[in-house]
Structure 1
Amino acid sequence: MIITALRNWQPAPGELVEWRPTRAALHAAGAAAPDPDPGTFLQDNHIRGIGAAHRTAAPHTAYLAVGTEVDGVLDAAAMSRALQRFVRRHEGLRTWFTTDGITVTRHSIDSDDVAFEPRTVGNTLGGKVFREYALARFSAEALATSWPGFVLGAVAGADSFTLYYACDHALSDGASQALVLTEILDFYANENSGRALSPFTSAATGGFPDYARAEHALAHSFDESSPEIVEWVETFRRHGNTMPRFPLDLGLAPGTTAPMHAIEFDLLDATGSAAFAQICRAAGGRYLAGVLAAVAITDLEIAGRREYYGMTVVSTRGLGDFLLSQGWLCNFAPLSFVVDDRASFTELVARANEAYDRAIRLAGAPLSSVLSALLTSGADPSAVLTSPNMLSYMDFRRFPGAGTAPYERGMLFTGEGETANASMWFNRDANHLYLGCQSPSTAFAQRQLARYHAHLRTVFATVAAEGDYSIAADREVALARHHD
């Protein structure tokens, strides 16, 4: 499975099939009373954002989607039953939210009322024509402000089919998307041919409402004197009371955004990635520590940043029995470490590893508690309540479907709206380490990013080929070396 841009999805022509709730299921959802269980902080904030966008008629792009190619003739009835079992297994997918702009109210449909049926809606020529159809469906239907907040569909061919799933981000995250089609297809094989379920599909999994309750309870255990909160505030203050930004000027005025352009490229092939991993271990760090060290070196040599300062995504599935749950199960944490007092990549790896260990610890503080403390400390709300430049790392070799044909053919997409950042998603699989960057589409921003990414590629390639990378003591020397 890879994370890629929607433009790279090229399904073949075929018959369009959609799975929708039965009339009885929709009636049950419509009659459902408000649920006393809360949503999470991220969910509530997201739903308020959807409401604000709806009032301005802005298109919905805050969804995640995944697609793959499956061998065999599509059995639409078996897929209906598989989807029903999948949704009944994950309580978070039986929920939706309403808001008046301030208060967010959760609703849920009973498990026994969940049922789906297939609907053939025509044929598609595939390629761009299909992508436009799918994009319109994602934007209109993968909305957590009604049930269901997700869509499932297929393009059925003579002896294979494309299967796709899209879900509002309020109900999903990257790890959930890497799990979803493997699980649905496992249920499908069981319904279609009687094949036994895999251990991960038959295992118990925690419900997302349980996670939300655990998060709220955890938030009550933190205050401004909690060590994690104190360190968050100190880190923020040490960096000018601002969220992390891309190290180079992208040419956008404060508060402005531009349409997002997806940048993708390989950093290391399978051989280089294995060598990089071994070098990181020998230097005292995990693979991600090496990624952070390479980024920090690039920030220093391209932008003159003596100290790396970034924001990363940390899984919170360990808050309970949520390893296999569908939902938005992550938190954010700052990363910072000094770079320019080290002479080489291998000297920096252990420090980057320590920084990530701190980030894991700081991610134990719920974001609601953190933001409250930052605002109380005197930070400008406009600097706190803004999207930071992010760095994320996922190893797709570690998911249950790895090695199976549908999983390896899988493509994961995100909605493509507007951005002021150039966040970086580093992803590793059996074939390569590659980078995805969601960036402003302006010509100036793209020129800046081309410079940055070229230097980053040089750092990774040098480490993998030579076993280390010498950090230039002088920025001009670094730039000159890069251009030679």
Structure 2
Amino acid sequence: MRQFPLEMHHMAPGRVVEWRLRSSAAEAADTGDPVGRKASFNQDKHFTVAEESRAADDPVASWVAVTFEVTGLLDEQALAQSLLSFVQRHEVLRCAFRRLAGEVACEPYDPAGLTLEPRQVGTFETSGLLREFLVERFKRSIDTLSWPLFIMGAVEREDSATVYLAFDHIVCDGMSMPIVAREVSTRYEALCRGEGVELPPAPSYLDFAEEQRRRYLSIDPSDERLGYWKAFMGQAGEFFPRFPLDLGVEEGQMYPIVNEASTLLDAAEAEVFEKTCLAADGKPFMGVLASVAVCLREAGGPGVYRGLMPVSERGRDTWAHSVGWFVNTLPIEFDASPGRDFAQVMASVRAGFSEMMSHLDVPFVRAWQLLAPEEFAARSWPYPVNFFSYIDMRKCPGAERHDEWRPTTHVWSARANGACSWFQRDRDGMHMNSIYVDTPAARRTMGDFQEALRLTVQEIARSGGFRRPIALTTPRRPLQTPLDVAAFARRG
């Protein structure tokens, strides 16, 4: 399972059917639970930005989506039942958000009052036309301020189908996507066999949000738990670590995005890379982060890496199978100065990561609100921010069936003012997906950076260390070649 732009997904053409979620309470103008629940810090900020953007006639939009494959002729009734059961199981998916007494309320609808309304969209004769339809469908249909907050559908063929679900970020995170694929696929297969299915417990994200607010809503800027953030901000007082390379952006401006993906290491190279990292007393994500730091430095960045890193708050058991936005974001800092070899930079990464993980307490949005209130009031991060994310998809729920289901994740944002990169490891290798501003400078900068990074991790896999200087001696690999996921499934 990997993440790449939807525009790169080469789905076989077919007939598209969608299911729209309906609620008897919503249609009766019932506000749901009269007591109501409160949104999490992440959700509150996300919803507030959407409100303010709409009021300023400057809408922002984003979505996260998952697709997966079904073998054989699709049983529409079984899939519809599986999708409905999935929504009923996860309370956050049944929620409508609204402003209530200054706070964002999260009102869950009764699962018994939910139904799915099928809609035959039409038949698409080519993969290109299908892809164009889905890209526009996701962009136009996902709205933070409108319920429901996701869409569900399938592309049907005589011998297979591609199921798709696209969500507003307010109800899920990237780690929710493997859960979606596993639950819907597992229940669908059981229904087709006429059997029941027992899924592991999935506590409500609303309970997580409630506990988070109870613990952190009352803290103030003097709270000692903010000490790690304050130390990171230092004398400069900057809450956000800057992306250190030139992207050609103007302060306060937002830009259309480039969304591209490439493979850094194939399966065999990724295995060797992992062994090299373990031999240096580190983990693969540390090796990738060390490589990123060195490439940024050699492109003109500082010797000390400073960036933001998202961390899952699911834990090992409690929330492992729950859908929601279980992400905290923390700063990390380590030494990658010239003259340090791979083992030395890895030791710095390990120490920086250990220090970061010992300060998980305060939610990112709450720290942002308390320590940078002027920037918190804005609708976006203030300038290009250094951001690194890594997920080993082989460890996700249902990974043992990924060869059959071929799940894929896709993210999109309407505009940006910087760059974000996500790295994924799956059975096919190590991959990178980047979203960044569409400026000439950013295209040059990110193109050179991505190629340098690919050469660096390959060199680590070959020789166990960095090569200096990193020379772009080979042509850049094409980034936008459509990926035939179904072909990958047939390959095995």
Same fold at TM > 0.5: yes
Unaligned runs of 5+ in 1: 473-477
1:126 to partner: Cα distance:
4.3
Identify if the C-alpha distance between structure 1 residues 235 and 178 changes in structure 2 by more than 3 Å, giving closer, same or farther: same
* Superposed CA offset, 1:131-161 (max 9, x none): 3332343234333434321111011111211
Judge conservation of contact 1:308–1:339 (CA < 8 Å) in 2.
yes
TM-score by length of 2: 0.88
AA paired with 2:319? F
* Superposed CA offset, 1:257-287 (max 9, x none): 2211122222111121111111111112121
Which range moves more in the overlay, 427-436 or 319-328?
A: 319-328
- Among 304, 313, 316, the alignment partner of 2:310 is 313
Identify if the C-alpha distance between structure 1 residues 16 and 263 changes in structure 2 by more than 3 Å, giving closer, same or farther: closer
AA paired with 2:451? A
Which range moves more in the overlay, 216-225 or 282-291?
A: 216-225
Q: Does 1:11 align with 2:11?
A: yes
Identify if the C-alpha distance between structure 1 residues 116 and 29 changes in structure 2 by more than 3 Å, giving closer, same or farther: farther
Q: Does 1:418 align with 2:429?
A: no
Q: Does 1:369 align with 2:366?
A: yes
* Partner Cα separation in structure 1 for residue 233 and residue 226 of structure 2: 11
Judge conservation of contact 1:34–1:106 (CA < 8 Å) in 2.
no
Q: How do 1:100-119 and structure 2 match up within 5 A?
A: 103-119=103-119
Unaligned runs of 5+ in 2: 475-492
* Structure 2 counterpart of 1:281: 278
Q: Secondary structure at the match of 2:38?
A: coil
* Structure 1 counterpart of 2:386: 389
* Partner Cα separation in structure 2 for residue 87 and residue 66 of structure 1: 15
1:31 to partner: Cα distance:
5.0
* Superposed CA offset, 1:39-65 (max 9, x none): 011101111122233335556632111
* Partner Cα separation in structure 1 for residue 250 and residue 273 of structure 2: 38
Identify if the C-alpha distance between structure 1 residues 30 and 13 changes in structure 2 by more than 3 Å, giving closer, same or farther: farther
Q: How do 1:303-382 and structure 2 match up within 5 A?
A: 303-318=300-315, 321-340=318-337, 343-375=340-372
AA paired with 1:275? V
TM-score by length of 1: 0.89
* Structure 2 counterpart of 1:145: 145
Q: Does 1:253 align with 2:238?
A: no
Q: In angstroms, what is the RMSD of aligned CA positions?
A: 2.8
* Superposed CA offset, 1:426-475 (max 9, x none): 111011111111111222211122222222222211111001125x5xxx
* Structure 1 counterpart of 2:485: none
Residue-pair matches, total: 473
Identify if the C-alpha distance between structure 1 residues 374 and 426 changes in structure 2 by more than 3 Å, giving closer, same or farther: same
Q: How do 1:68-467 and structure 2 match up within 5 A?
A: 68-99=68-99, 103-195=103-195, 197=197, 202-220=199-217, 222-237=219-234, 241-318=238-315, 321-340=318-337, 343-375=340-372, 386=382, 388-404=385-401, 409-467=406-464
* Partner Cα separation in structure 1 for residue 447 and residue 272 of structure 2: 26
1:225 to partner: Cα distance:
4.8
* Partner Cα separation in structure 2 for residue 482 and residue 363 of structure 1: 38
1:220 to partner: Cα distance:
4.6
Identify if the C-alpha distance between structure 1 residues 250 and 385 changes in structure 2 by more than 3 Å, giving closer, same or farther: closer
Judge conservation of contact 2:394–2:426 (CA < 8 Å) in 1.
yes
* Partner Cα separation in structure 1 for residue 379 and residue 68 of structure 2: 40
Percentage of identical aligned residues? 29
Identify if the C-alpha distance between structure 1 residues 159 and 58 changes in structure 2 by more than 3 Å, giving closer, same or farther: farther
* Structure 2 counterpart of 1:475: none
* Partner Cα separation in structure 2 for residue 33 and residue 74 of structure 1: 36
